[in-house]
Chains A and B, each alone.
Chain A
Amino acid sequence: MCGIVGLLVKNQKMRANIGELMLPMLIGMTERGPDSAGLAIFGAPVDNSERKFSLYCASPEFDWAKLSVDLNNGLKADAKVEVKVNHAVVTTNTSPESVKAWLKEHYPQVHLLSVGQLMDIYKDTGTPAQVASRYDFSKLSGSHLVGHTRMATESAITPSHAHPFTAGEDWCLVHNGSLSNAHSIRRKLEHEGISFETDNDTEAACRFLQWRMREGDDLKTALEHGFEELDGFYTLLMGTKDQLALVRDPFACKPAIVAEHDDYVAIASEFRSLAHLPDIKNAKVFEPAPKEMYVWKL
């Protein structure tokens, strides 16, 4: 199964409370995805010369302070590290390539979840309510977000297998469904020099789009190629620095519902997750059509 949620807040005043608005949306999808949950939040951008790195380490005793010192010494950087339980957001003006290479060499047990100027990612195992409280989702502020609740059907239940997945800076994707040709897509992409972190089918879709965009496709063209290549069921919700985008497979096997309001655009697998939103009675509620691309800009 799995549940997806997305929220783009148009009303500037409401952006400070985006986490609070979103929380019932994510928890509303618990029956669809009780084993893991994740969230990508697009907040205030860091300085133009800097990047944010969302990191995760499975060990609860992990010494983030030591990583911070080692990183600054090793790369002669002045990175700031903000720790939230077993996640940390590192902000630095050192190039993403050197940070990635340094982490891989010195801290292979640390997973790099995302790189960008606005986006932070949190994902972990547990019910949506547990994950949300562990990382204080209700206190998040920002302009838009993408969330996911997972019911694993094809690969293991681990934080790395949880969604969102990323493909490039400030770009993430969540998926409800299953792909039947994930392994062949993976073999094809590995020949193109694309590397994978998990055996999750969604990661194959994510890397496919990453590859297409690397080859010069814009998102729309990349998704058109996706319709030809991806075999299976999917509703995909994507977040970029200034937009949310949604597609459903040609058979609309997986659900999606949208509420467009003057103050916000909210997307979820089911209306259950939208029912609590302010003034929802006056929102335009509709089901996105299959095989069509929907984009909502900030």
Chain B
Amino acid sequence: MKMVAGQELGTTGMAVNSDAVAEEPAVEARRISKIFQGETEVRALDDVSVSIRRNEFFTLLGPSGCGKTTLLRVIAGFEPPTMGALYLAGTDISRLPPNQRPVNTVFQNYALFPHMSVANNIAFGLEMLGKPKDEVRQTVDDMLRLVQMEALKTRRTSEISGGQQQRVALARALAPHPEVLLLDEPLSALDLKLRKEMQIELKRLQNETGITFVFVTHDQEEALTMSDRVAVMNAGKILQIGSPQEIYQHPAERFVANFIGESNFLDATLSGGTVDLKAGGRYDVTVPEGVAEGSVSVLVRPEHASVRSGPAGDGEMSGTIETVVYSGEATTLHLRLATGEPLKARSPNSPGEGTLPGQGEEAAVSIGAGAVTVLRD
């Protein structure tokens, strides 16, 4: 049985028929395209399909202008898709206006109502749903406790700090207990320390409320820290969807590898299940779909390459150290391999004196098993 979520709102809140949707994805975008007509045609979303599971912390990651915010706005209902359909727990909501979708948004600059107190901001959604006064008051108090803002209940939103506004925005969006919470770069305006705190806080809130979070960010570290799954986007397309580990360790494309973490790209020859690096060494790899045998490009993360002084032995790559960069917990060596390719290698610093080779020295580089990933260019 399917019902339009909007019809439910007035009386029973967001309770969408739970037994029927247990295995349905929370949000499913089917072949959505969004084209902005202007002086030039902009294809903000290009045939995007994605399925977001229930209770998942799902992140849309990409550089600015990649379409991640547009996708979020399509889910919220602010932008109608040019093509395609959007399903919420199995129901087509493509045509519902934002106020009939059981989806709430935490806006990038919070968009708190400046003429209302903290409590009235949080109560707004509940009042609009026509909840009885007692229930509204109760929920507002619960939300204030959840985001630890009880003390500032009666303050104006213009009288509280950025981090506090952030919490109020979260509480306001969570108060009506939506099916899905959309977060549009909510941490980008906070300073580093506060951002780290809020990352953990958000994760806690998601666990406690059991609401599906769809999080938009351009910060790869934020995406890796918080998400259950990440979708990497570029130029209106989703390039790869996977867990943070999958995305980081086995990026499918050069763009994904480059965007997330630091990368070394090396030339190699693929035959059977193994690659021969041009600079030396043979490694077993899993071959992604659509990659033909022959000349390929492989990825090696800097922390998977280890360096020692001296000439290269069998299966090792030889190179010269060009720069040594010390950064507290680790040291990064920038090498030039014998093939002319640049390579970065990072190793954690130990408490004693470092035994790493110094600048200008000849060095041998080896790569750990399973650390070589073949890329689909």
| A, B assembled together | no
B→A interface (CB under 8 Å):
none
